[in-house]
Amino acid sequence: MIDIRDVAVFLGLDVGKGEHHATGLMPDGRSVVDKPLPNSEPKMRALLDKLTAKYGRVLVVVDQPASIGALPLAVARAAGCEVACLPGLTMRRIADLCPGEGKTDARDAAIIADAARTMPHTLRSIELTDETIAELHMIVGFDDDLAGEATRVANRLRGLLTQIHPHLERVLGPRVQHPAVLTLLEQFGSPKAIRRAGRRRLITLLRPKAPRTAERLVEDIFTALDEQTVVVTGTDAGVIVPKLAKNLAGLLDQRKELAPDIEELLKSHPLSDLLTSMPGIGVRTGARILIDVGDGTAFPTAGHLAAYAGLAPVTRRSGSSIRGESPSRRGNKHLKRAFFLAAFASLSDPASRAYYERKKAEGKRHKQALMCLARRRVDVLFAMLRDCPFFEPQAVPQAA
């Protein structure tokens, strides 16, 4: 928890694109400033210098530390002030307890300042991240955007194939992101064009992209084409499928170009070897864990880290009628996905596979068992970050 014993002014900033609203409160609740503040370094520095010279220690609290809140935090640090963050969800819950139903910048800034003054346990410290993590945050965020856009285009492409030829979609849909399939759809965007090209031409086209499966893939395609004899309306609009395939191929190529940059940045961090020593943690998942978890000092226990990632179950009890636990719907979605994918990739490890099979034997489904495995791996990762040892594989006892 942030120490507020010597704080003279609690300055709450409701950050905005053009201007912020600043509300400053003294420890006894008296207001010392309440006005709009332009999003300009000279104006913010002048206000902070004035408050520091007149009152002493100033604690600057924002609700959004990233994007539009980055400049106020940088100016506050340069002015010698301490900074903290009141998470947006916490701020909204506190606002619901305050009188009034209106939502204004002045009210939000006052709530932020008063929460920092009366409830310091709700604040989160904002450490000055090193340059490597800052660069990783930007490049991994761009990679996540590309992945989301690639998923959207792939779903649109599969939906269009399902509309015009369901049998062909059953063959190409699961492999829609394969370079061979994208090359095929980009050059021959309709079932009629694919059939007209012929088997030999398609095999010659696909063999450089899929040397081992080109012939089998072509046979599956023509088998699917023979199963549908009618022509669905809209099938001849063959300009859409090639454009979608070209767009999807471009997005996947951009992700491939980003992968070496992410790997290079990850290797330059001291915790890189420790993270990647754990089975299932690769370049992208390791970068995401490093961005959101860091060295783990922000979490008192492994349970806190699991709750932050949304992997800790939520207990619901009310008398004798409602008793049970359900998966959490909250938490850091990106971090939860990284832990889930890392758990799935770790099934080749004997210890992880044994834990997964034990949960399956208890009656859990595939995803439930993977979530349990991801939660268990959080404990292991937290211990590794705390004690700084590399992962050591454990012998799994053989069943009789």
DSSP output for 60-115: EEES--SGGGHHHHHHHHHTT-EEEE--HHHHHHHHHHSS-----HHHHHHHHHHH
- Kindly state whether residue 279 falls inside one of the protein's structural domains: yes
Tell me how many domains the chain contains: 3
Residue range of the domain that includes 317: 270-387
Residues 117 and 227 placed together within one structural domain of the fold: no
Q: Where are the alpha helices (DSSP H) in the chain?
A: 41-55, 70-78, 88-97, 105-118, 131-164, 166-172, 179-187, 191-197, 199-206, 214-226, 240-267, 272-276, 283-293, 302-309, 333-345, 350-361, 366-387
Q: Which residues contact 176 (CB under 8 A, 6 or more apart)?
A: 154, 157, 158, 182, 248
- Kindly state whether residue 395 falls inside one of the protein's structural domains: no
- Kindly state whether residue 246 falls inside one of the protein's structural domains: yes
Q: What is the CATH number of the domain that holds 78?
A: 3.30.420.10
Residues 116 and 145 placed together within one structural domain of the fold: no
pTM recorded for the entire structure: 0.73
Choose one of 215, 247, 263: the last residue of a domain.
263
Residues 118 and 140 placed together within one structural domain of the fold: no
Residues 183 and 298 placed together within one structural domain of the fold: no
- Kindly state whether residue 130 falls inside one of the protein's structural domains: no
Q: How far is 227 from 219, CA to CA, in rounded Å?
A: 13
**pLDDT for res 129:** 57
- Kindly state whether residue 19 falls inside one of the protein's structural domains: yes
Choose one of 230, 263, 296: the last residue of a domain.
263
Strands 124-125 and 9-14: unpaired
Residues 303 and 222 placed together within one structural domain of the fold: no
Reduce the DSSP state of residue 295 to 3 states and report it.
Answer: coil
Residues 71 and 153 placed together within one structural domain of the fold: no
The pLDDT profile of the chain, 400 residues, written as one tens digit per residue, is: 677 889 999 999 999 888 999 999 999 999 999 999 998 999 999 999 999 999 999 999 998 887 788 899 999 999 999 999 888 778 888 888 887 777 888 999 999 999 999 999 888 877 655 567 878 888 999 999 999 999 999 999 999 999 889 999 999 999 999 999 999 999 998 888 899 999 999 999 999 999 999 999 999 999 999 988 887 776 665 688 999 999 999 999 999 999 999 999 899 888 889 999 999 999 999 999 998 888 888 788 999 899 889 888 777 776 666 566 677 777 888 999 999 999 999 999 999 999 999 999 999 999 999 999 999 999 999 999 988 788 877 666 555 3
Residues 151 and 255 placed together within one structural domain of the fold: yes
Choose one of 233, 263, 293: the last residue of a domain.
263
The answer to whether 311 and 371 are in contact (CB under 8 A) is yes
